[in-house]
A and B are shown apart, each in its own frame.
Chain A
């Protein structure tokens, strides 16, 4: 217990680091996933930019990369991280790799939620002369906003989960903290403290996400 009190500043720092990694990954992965998801949705045969070839290519890429376990993906993508963000280790590298993995995961969630938009509604927008870009911006996304927000909330929890392995490439955060000061020092109380913080973060975000989605759905 005394150890934990001594470690409190470190726990605080780890919490901030986790939030930093997760927030940035969600931001970049969220944007990337939205774009790739929109790509999948719009090029799907019969949709606004229907294009069998482009759809097929994106679909295969997503199918190949999405199921790779994150810890393996992290190692495999290290050269790419070095190339893009200049480093293969630390928080920057983990944010890069997490964003990439999240892009693939989120793209499917985005695609699935956009597919729930009634084709008739899109037809109504086309019939008044709206351009395709405008339809995506003012009809497709708003109509799917509620489920999209729930999808993103779900992804947030998944990213918190994945961020815990940051320690493997020299990153920080609650996962690193729990391993380093709890597991390795045979101090379960410290481990459980990290677990508690993660539970609190996840609960808070879940609550907020549900609230936002409810507002979007007006229910």
Chain B
């Protein structure tokens, strides 16, 4: 049984004005998040990502379908039971949403007070969390005195205060610069690995998925258009929107305009070798080309590493005797996927 399970979930907002039309933010979505997963949800603005996670802790109620958290049907819960459910689900936000009238210490203590934790325990727990997020010396400060990265660390500490099993992160790094983003992502990774917290991360940035997530769902217009292991989606995106997201971090097969530029600068037969299965060795491929007496030049592409699994697309310009090249490519085709982009001056290969 998945820890969080959505079955055919839809959410429609009523029209905002009298003659407006209702907005279907979530459209028949099913997905399962297993205990220990870092589940990424990626999509463009308005795709319904925030709505989807807000359904999980019932900040928003479903229009139809079923959401189960740890086997409990969320939409059946009454206000009081919901409050208990929410103590087990932490949430962090793009704009941090810290209480500006409370000190860092009080912010982190807040969920514990809600849970009626004894005072001595609150003291100990807050100290522990402060040291976990590295803000022990900021306990007495107020949110306005912190940097964005520090604010989000307070947000994380607050979300973890009641030791929830699930953490929802809604664009948690979108307001941060790249370096701070990496810090916060590293912290979230520790939360997952050290405490075994299941994390659902929402983002529109593919590199957040690449660094953090184990599984990913791609959303478009309220639907999940593709889901699966991050490696699979990255190495073989099927849907147009998945391909676009993947292309933001993975240099794939050059587009026609890119190819034209490459042709101006490089001579020979241009081919793209796609490494997709995570264990084909580039070294082996290069060695075989060299042994066949083919001169090659790497002209485009890159190799990505997702949790130790390697994949990527390398575009090479090959020079040599055409039959030799044909033979070598036929040989390589057994281990890597080859896209033949043709010879400069000869467009027939495309």
> B86 at interface (Cβ–Cβ under 8 A)?
yes
Docked complex: A37-65 residues within 8 A CB-CB of B: none
Closest chain B residue to A127, Cβ basis: B91
List which A120-158 residues lie within 8 A (CB) of chain B: 120-121, 123-131, 134, 138-139, 142-143, 145
In the complex, are the beta carbons of B59 and A125 less than 8 A apart?
no
Contact of A129 (CB < 8 Å), options: B99, B111, B142, B168: B111
Q: How far is the CA of A123 from the CA of B85 in the complex (A)?
A: 15
B142 touching A130 by the CB < 8 A rule?
no
Residue in B83, B159, B168 whose beta carbon sits within 8 Å of that of A131 in the complex:
B83
In the assembled complex, A203 has its CB within 8 A of some CB on chain B: no
Find out whether the CB atom of B99 lies under 8 angstroms from the CB atom of A142.
yes
Q: Mark B106-117, 1 if CB is under 8 A from A, else 0.
A: 000011011100
Q: How far is the CA of A130 from the CA of B89 in the complex (A)?
A: 13
Interface size class of A (residues with CB under 8 A): 20 to 34
Given A134-B114, A218-B142; A127-B59 close (CB under 8 Å)? yes
Is A185 part of the binding interface, using a Cβ–Cβ cutoff of 8 Å? no
Inter-subunit contact A125/B101 (CB<8 Å): no
Measured between C-beta atoms, what is the minimum distance from B291 to chain A in Å? 60
State the Cβ distance, A219 to closest chain B Cβ, in Å.
Answer: 9
Q: Known contacts A130-B110, A130-B114; can you find 9 more A-B pairs with CB under 8 A?
A: A120-B93, A120-B95, A121-B99, A124-B93, A125-B99, A127-B57, A130-B83, A142-B102, A216-B101
Most-contacted residue by chain B among A123, A124, A143 (CB, 10 A) = A124
Q: Are A129 and B114 in contact, CB atoms less than 8 angstroms apart? A: yes
Residues of A within 8 A of B110 (CB): 125, 128, 130, 138
Nearest B residue (CB) for A141: B101
Q: Interface size of B by Cβ–Cβ distance < 8 Å? A: 31
Are B87 and A129 touching (Cβ within 8 A)? yes
Q: Closest Cβ of chain A: how far from B13's Cβ, in Å?
A: 11
Determine whether the beta carbon of A129 is less than 8 Å from that of B115.
Answer: yes
Contact B85 A143 (CB under 8 A): no
Give CA–CA (A91, B105) in the complex, Å: 48
Instruction: Kindly list chain B residues whose C-beta atoms are within 8 Å of the C-beta of A143.
Output: 99-101
Given contacts A128-B87, A129-B85, is CB(A139)–CB(B114) below 8 Å? Answer: no
Known: A123-B59, A134-B114, A142-B102. A129 touches B84 (CB 8 A): yes
Smallest beta-carbon distance B248→chain A, Å: 27
Query: Are B101 and A129 in contact (CB-based, < 8 A)?
Result: no
Give the secondary structure class of B's interface.
Answer: mixed
Give Cα distance in the complex from A216 to B100, angstroms: 11
Measured CB to CB, the closest approach of chain B to A10, in angstroms, equals 45
Residues of the B chain whose Cβ atoms lie less than 8 Å from the Cβ of A125: 99, 110
Contact A128 B158 (CB under 8 A): yes
**Judging by beta carbons under 8 Å apart, are B89 and A127 in contact?**
yes
The answer to whether B91 and A124 touch across the interface, beta carbons within 8 angstroms, is yes
- Nearest Cβ on chain B to A20's Cβ, whole angstroms: 33
- Cβ B162 vs Cβ A124 within 8 A: no
Q: Give the CA-CA distance A139 to B101 in the complex, in Å.
A: 8
Docked CA distance A143–B97 (Å): 12
- Would A128 and B86 count as touching, CB distance under 8 A? yes
Contact A124 B86 (CB under 8 A): no
Are A123 and B101 within 8 A (Cβ)? no
Closest chain B CB from A134 CB (angstroms): 7
Give the residues in chain A near B113, CB-CB below 8 Å: 138
B161 nearest in chain A by CB position: A128
The answer to whether A129 touches B91, judged by C-beta atoms less than 8 angstroms apart, is no
Please list 22 pairs of residues, one from A and one from B, whose beta carbons are closer than 8 Å in the complex, sorted by A's number: A123-B59, A124-B93, A124-B99, A125-B99, A125-B110, A126-B59, A127-B57, A128-B159, A128-B161, A128-B162, A129-B83, A129-B114, A129-B115, A130-B83, A130-B110, A138-B110, A138-B113, A142-B101, A142-B102, A143-B101, A216-B101, A218-B142
CA distance A216 to B162 in the complex (A): 28
Residues of B within 8 A of A126 (CB): 59, 86
Residues of chain A lying within 8 A (CB to CB) of residue B161: 128
Known: A120-B95, A128-B158. Is A145-B114 also a contact (CB below 8 A)?
A: no
CA A145 to CA B97, docked complex, whole Å: 17
A121 touches B91 (CB 8 A): no
CA distance A128 to B91 in the complex (A): 8
Residue of B nearest to A146 (CB): B101
Q: Is the CB of B97 within 8 A of A123?
A: yes
Q: Which residues of B contact A130 (CB under 8 A)?
A: 83, 110, 114
- Of A123, A125, A128, A216, the most chain B CB neighbours within 10 A belong to A128
Shortest CB distance A52–B (Å):
12
- Inter-chain contacts of B84 with A (CB < 8 A): 129
Contact indicator A145/B59 (Cβ below 8 Å):
no
B82 adjacent to chain A (CB < 8 Å)? yes
Interface string of A100-135 (1 = CB under 8 A from B): 000000000000000000101101111111110010
- Please report the C-alpha to C-alpha distance between residue A126 and residue B114 in the assembled complex, in whole angstroms: 10
User: How distant is A123 from chain B, measured CB to nearest CB, in Å?
Assistant: 6
Residues on A with beta carbons closer than 8 Å to the beta carbon of B115: 129
Given A123-B59, A218-B142, are A128 and B111 also a contact pair (CB < 8 Å)? yes
Q: Is the CB of A129 within 8 A of B93?
A: no
